[in-house]
Amino acid sequence: MATVAQLLGRKPRAIYSVTPDAPVLEAIRSMADHGVGALLVMQGEKLAGIVSERDYARKVILKGRSSSDTPVSQIMTAQVITVEPGQSAQQCMQIMTDRRVRHLPVVEGGRVLGMLSIGDLVRAVLAEQQQTIEQLEQYIHQ
């Protein structure tokens, strides 16, 4: 099973983030521009939280708040669940399932290295399964 470090190595190096005081509208625009479902909320080099489309839907739209007047800090998740580069894709999938999250920031020594999404993990599992199928087919045909 692939490690978090290996999965990050297959992704572009970009880390998309927003500051806690940025308007929610800015965060949503950034997510749309980059084709992502969540952004890291960074206070300088420090991870302050994570904000997702789900946060926006539940904490802005459903509560009738203004996207341009509400700061990200009011809707972000401050208690961020993170993973480390040495963890496995399987461990990440278990964390996502148990904690009902779709994005996991990767942190090492307090430094943010990137973020994994559920899509990244599903792709990794599918690739591994395909490789196993091909190996079994080769074994059968020998």
| Percent of the chain whose pLDDT exceeds 90 | 80
All structural domains of the chain with their residue ranges: 4-140
CATH superfamily of 4-140: CBS-domain (3.10.580.10)
Whole-number pLDDT of residue 131: 85
Q: Does position 1 have pLDDT exceeding 80, yes or no?
A: no
What's the predicted TM-score (pTM) here?
0.87
Per residue in 33-82, pLDDT tens?
Answer: 999 999 999 999 999 999 999 999 999 999 999 999 999 999 999 999 99
Q: Which residue is listed with tokens 């929610």?
A: 24
